[in-house]
Amino acid sequence: MATSNGSTAIRDKILASLARYRALRIGKFPCAFWRLSSRPGLTASDVFFFDVRDQAKKHVTSFNGAPMFIQVTYKGNKTDLSQVNVVMANWDLSTIESVPASDLLMVIPASDESDGFVIFKTTEPGYFIIADK
């Protein structure tokens, strides 16, 4: 399945990343893979899963509107927040959307010596991936 820009790079990257991190534990994996792979742009990170548990070790699906700041490894070379998208899928994979541009705080490009990073704000845990515009 090709993305809207004709590239299968996103699909291949997400497939490999999700397989490494969560494929055996998430029964809805194929759904997440196909839905995320339809997003335009070239991925510039692995898929990251941010999981929060309460004292009873139950999965927390919301922070009740309280913001959480997350730093995600970025392998791209963009230097401006307007040049990157952060795509988020919630824990149960029922919604996939871009993090609003107003919630993107900082982007540092990768160099030959190290990966860069993107810092953004979210109010719920889930899957995150960085894509260059």
Q: What span, in angstroms and rounded, lies between the C-alpha atoms of 98 and 86?
A: 6
| pLDDT band of 114, cuts 50, 70, 90 | very high
Please tell me the pTM assigned to this model: 0.64
What's the pLDDT tens digit per position in 21-79?
Answer: 444 344 444 455 444 544 445 566 777 777 778 888 887 877 787 888 999 889 889 99
What's the pLDDT tens digit per position in 84-112?
Answer: 989 888 877 788 888 999 999 999 999 99
* Section 1-17 average pLDDT: 50
pLDDT of amino acid 10: 52
pLDDT of amino acid 82: 94
